[in-house]
Amino acid sequence: MCGIVGIISSKEVTRRIINSLKKLEYRGYDSAGIATLVDGDINEVKCEGRVEVLEKDISKFNLKGDIGIGHVRWATHGKPSKINAHPHSSEQVSVVHNGIIENSTILKKFLEKKGYIFKSQTDTEVIAHLVTEYLKKNSLKDTIIKVLKKLHGSFALGIIFKDQSNLMIGAKRGSPLAVGYGPNENYIGSDSYALKSMTNKISYLDDGEFCIVKKDQIEFFDTAGTKVNKKVMNLSKDEIDYDKGDYKYFMEKEIDEQPSTIIACINEYVDKHNKQINIYNFPWKISSIESIMLIGCGTAFHSCLMAKYWMEQNTNLDVSVDIASEFRYRKVRFKKNCLYIVVSQSGETADTHAALALCKKNKMKTCAVVNVIESSIARDADLVLPIYCGQEVGVASTKAFIGQMLVLYILSIKISFDQKCISKKKYQDKIKNLLTLSNSTKKTLKLDQKILQIGKTFAEAKGSMFLGRGYSFPIALEGALKLKELAYVHAEGYPAGEMKHGPLALIEQGMPVVVLAPRDEYYKKTISNMQEVIARGAKVLLVTNKNKDEVISENIWEKIEVDQLDEELIPFLMTIPLQKLAFYSALEKGYDIDKPRNLAKSVTVE
């Protein structure tokens, strides 16, 4: 997490750093800061809170400069506060950092013994003092090589120097850093998106590399200080200006965009005329795939779990799922003909990226399902399957979840047909059904008013549960996650059949419980589980799909019915009321829907 930007120019940089920081706020928004170099002095302005607060402070201080670095923070070491906000400076240097310095305590002791005084509780401040210390006896380049060797953990760094008005340093290990080339000025940034208003020419640092950035030159070096050449990528010129339009919140807009997300994705992968799926760039013979491993975090993990159900249903493959932060440290048995699929909206999630790196190190076949196609994960995977849902700004993932599920579903039926697990007729029927999904999603979005009322009860609840079986279980997990992260209400997602193995003890009078019970093979079983929670006082919101038979249970508090669709596609529709439920619950409480507390959109620390 945390976003960094740096500009070296012969023109004023402050305004542009602020603009880039606004674009990076998805990486962290608990504090922000900027440092510029003016006449041999480093001037800093920092604040707790958002970039808009920083912007106001800067106007008071009239901060100027034609070289500077800026930062938006997501706190790891030390609480969000002005003192812990970056940049962190010594007499000599100013540093912005994304990542975690794991040996900061040892380095701090070493530096304190040498007389350095620490102002903040951050791990980053050690870097400023360490650079200052090494500069006493080393050239600038040697200092950087030595300092980077001393640091354990992950980082992307931007550094400016009091007595070097013609350069700044960028460095990367673990956390991403892009370098941009401009007209008589150059830039560093956590991603290309932050730099896009200034340039479309970008290079990315690889792990262990650092760069010396001047106005008219950028030099790249590896860990040992040997020069390296970098590929310059040309990004598309059009800057996505993504605004809220008539909506008050990005999340609300992104939920409503889901029918078009589905159409955009289907247009990319489905030949509607011939009723077939096109994944042109598949680098292996589909028949050679013997098993599948799906890896992700949070919402992306839920789409992986969903895919396991579809893939097991539609293929004969062995399908496993794992949470990236677990996978990366387990003693995994890598299987030669296994396809390792990592799923990540941002394509920057540290754990998912590390899981991918591990698969690559073991020479596995890797595929990334991502939204941001310029991301680190997309650059590193053998095969990239974008979800084509456009930029997602709301921190809580909504349309990207639908997009991830859709790509994984499409992949499952493609593998199923290519491996001769289903007939051509069944394959084409599935595609035909898929083409109706967007319309049914549109209808589901209209169930709004009812959910607004229901949301009030969930907003006041001490805790809640989301239950489902089969295809509905991953959706139950996702619904609970949405409510937790947006409305800060404790919510547990559970397989309905697990309730009597412990969690039933949590049910008390008036507790709101969501039961997902589509008319599938599990329907009757789930309805029985529902009765068990109702009998213990739960207020049940039943989410099901329209059917001529009435629901065979009394005492349901509320009921939401989505369209009748092929049962494999129902999870898409079931997701929507749960997104809305979390949205309205948070709205009721007046919380910051697009930027929930303690979270960030891109999780670039482990």
Cite the active site residues: 2, 601
Give the per-residue contact string, 381-420, with ligand F6R (x = CB under 6 A; - = no): ---------------xx-----------------------
Residue in 90, 94, 186, 344 binding ligand F6R, rule: CB under 6 A: 344
Cα–Cα distance, 115 to 112 (Å, whole number): 5
Cα–Cα distance, 316 to 307 (Å, whole number): 14
Token pair of 388 as six digits: 């084509």
For position 444 contacting ligand F6R by CB under 6 A, the verdict is: no
For position 346 contacting ligand F6R by CB under 6 A, the verdict is: yes
Cα–Cα distance, 20 to 127 (Å, whole number): 24
CB of 298 to ligand F6R, least distance (A): 2
Cα–Cα distance, 338 to 355 (Å, whole number): 14
Q: How many CB atoms lie within 10 A of CB 559?
A: 14
Which residues 464-483 are close enough to bind ligand F6R by CB under 6 A? 481
Strand, coil or helix: 151: coil
Which residues 485-514 are close enough to bind ligand F6R by CB under 6 A? 485
For position 94 contacting ligand F6R by CB under 6 A, the verdict is: no
Q: Which of 418/594 has CB closer to ligand F6R?
A: 594
1-40 core/surface letters (b: 16 or more CB in 10 A; e: else): bbbbbbbbbeeebbebbbbbbbbbbbbbbbbbbbbbbeee
CB of 293 to ligand F6R, least distance (A): 16
Angle at 513 between CA 510 and CA 518, to 5 degrees: 145
Angle at 525 between CA 520 and CA 529, to 5 degrees: 125
CB of 371 to ligand F6R, least distance (A): 8
DSSP bridge pairs for 46: 33
CB of 301 to ligand F6R, least distance (A): 7
Residue showing the smallest CB distance to ligand F6R in the complex: 298
CB of 400 to ligand F6R, least distance (A): 7
For position 349 contacting ligand F6R by CB under 6 A, the verdict is: yes
Which residue in this structure is represented by tokens 């096109």?
278
Residue 470 has φ and ψ, to the nearest 5°, of 55, -130
Q: Which of 13/605 has CB closer to ligand F6R?
A: 605
Cα–Cα distance, 490 to 480 (Å, whole number): 8
For position 345 contacting ligand F6R by CB under 6 A, the verdict is: yes
Residue in 297, 487, 513, 605 binding ligand F6R, rule: CB under 6 A: 297
- Part in contact with ligand F6R (CB under 6 A); list of ranges 24-32, 96-104, 204-212, 294-302: 294-302
Over its C-alpha atoms, the chain yields an Rg (Å, rounded) of 26
CB of 519 to ligand F6R, least distance (A): 28
Cα–Cα distance, 404 to 270 (Å, whole number): 15
Residue in 300, 480, 540, 543 binding ligand F6R, rule: CB under 6 A: 300
CB of 343 to ligand F6R, least distance (A): 7
How far out from the chain centre does Cα 251 lie? 14
For ligand F6R (CB under 6 A), the number of binding residues is: 14
Tell me, what amino acid is at 363? K
For position 299 contacting ligand F6R by CB under 6 A, the verdict is: yes
- Part in contact with ligand F6R (CB under 6 A); list of ranges 14-22, 43-51, 280-288, 339-347: 339-347
Which residue in this structure is represented by tokens 């399908």?
319
For position 298 contacting ligand F6R by CB under 6 A, the verdict is: yes
Binding site for ligand F6R (CB under 6 A): 297-300, 344-346, 349, 352, 396-397, 481, 485, 603
